[in-house]
Amino acid sequence: AEGGFNASTEESLTYHAGTTVAFRVLKLRIDGDSLDVYHKTRSLIESTSSPKNQLTGLAQLSEGTRLIFLQTFLEILSSCDDLPDLELMLYQMHEGLQPDLQALHQMEDKNRASIERLLDLLGIRKADPSGQPLTLSPQQNGIIETVATLIQSLNVLHPDTAIQLATSIEMKILPIQLKLMAKIEERCLKSKDFINQLDPVANVQETEESLETLVLQLTDKEFEVTQEILEDFGFLLKRETASISYDIDSDLQNLFCHIFVALYILSTIAI
């Protein structure tokens, strides 16, 4: 191949009779003399559109509609098995196309009902053929972008973290957790990279509350759930002294961005 890229065009594989083989299809893009293979979703948080559109598309909805979205997300968080399929559908919608809904037929009834309700909230008609260009309003496109960003972040988190997020929603402690994450990023990672990608909707930029003050706002059970989330990312928060210790590598630090994004988006619609 040109451009110094070597590629094999043929490869043979041998399987025993009766072997079940699963295939994963990735999108292929050839651009000039470079060859890029990338996953079905791109990192929306790093795209050229503004973080405000990515993260606050749901915030301007009526209280009743936000509550329906929140309840739907709670149901989806209770079982993460279908997040990859939902992520692919949202990627297609983000590209302006009617999603392929064939995966719905393979889902359990409860999970399918939740995802079908979400698609309905996003203005998707199940009867339309896949691949057809979508005709949606700018507001609908903004909401799709926000939901796609949320689901992408949820899909890379550990399933236990998703369950803890659902518990946090029910406990109504997302705003405190988000402020805690901001303080931990500043104190432990010596950075405000994630904070600076957010707008003032969640009120985390200039909070005067200290780490110690935020910890004291949590009940014992609320602290336990919050600590379990933090442990997934290598942080240990001690309630007695409100001190934080950590053992975090670059992979966990990248994942930390996704819990930040998930907390932020969910906090904009939490009632």
Q: Does residue 181 lie in a domain region?
A: yes
Distance, C-alpha 196 to centroid of its chain:
18
Give the H/E segment covering residue 225: helix 220-231
What is the total count of domains within the chain? 3
Quick one: 29 and 56 in the same domain?
no
Quick one: 53 and 124 in the same domain?
yes
pLDDT at position 4 over 50: no
Give the per-residue pLDDT at 251. Answer: 67
Q: Does residue 180 lie in a domain region?
A: yes
Give the per-residue pLDDT at 59. Answer: 85
Which amino acid makes up residue 139?
A: Q
Reduced to 3 states, what is the DSSP secondary structure of residue 36?
strand
Give the per-residue pLDDT at 240. Answer: 79
Which amino acid makes up residue 229?
A: I
Q: Does residue 143 lie in a domain region?
A: yes
Q: Does residue 43 lie in a domain region?
A: no
**Residue of 80, 81, 86 lying closest to 118 (CA atoms):** 86
Quick one: 88 and 191 in the same domain?
no
245 pLDDT band (50/70/90 cuts)?
Answer: confident
Q: Does residue 117 lie in a domain region?
A: yes
Q: Tokens for 229, please give them.
A: 């989330």
7 pLDDT band (50/70/90 cuts)?
Answer: very low
Q: Does residue 57 lie in a domain region?
A: yes
Report whether 181 contacts 253 (CB < 8 A).
no
Quick one: 189 and 260 in the same domain?
yes
Mean pLDDT for 210-234 is 91
pLDDT at position 260 over 60: yes
- Residues of the chain with pLDDT > 70, as a percent, come to 68
Quick one: 153 and 198 in the same domain?
no
Report whether 126 contacts 119 (CB < 8 A).
yes
41-50, 183-192, 254-263, range with greatest mean pLDDT: 254-263
Reduced to 3 states, what is the DSSP secondary structure of residue 206?
coil
Reduced to 3 states, what is the DSSP secondary structure of residue 173?
coil
pTM over 0.85? The answer is: no
Quick one: 206 and 183 in the same domain?
yes
Quick one: 191 and 258 in the same domain?
yes
Give the H/E segment covering residue 67: helix 63-77
Structural domain of 66: 49-162
pLDDT at position 128 over 80: yes
Quick one: 107 and 125 in the same domain?
yes
Give the H/E segment covering residue 155: helix 138-156
Quick one: 230 and 144 in the same domain?
no
Give the H/E segment covering residue 7: none
Quick one: 248 and 182 in the same domain?
yes
Quick one: 260 and 177 in the same domain?
yes
Quick one: 59 and 134 in the same domain?
yes
Q: Does residue 44 lie in a domain region?
A: no
11 pLDDT band (50/70/90 cuts)?
Answer: very low
Q: Does residue 167 lie in a domain region?
A: no
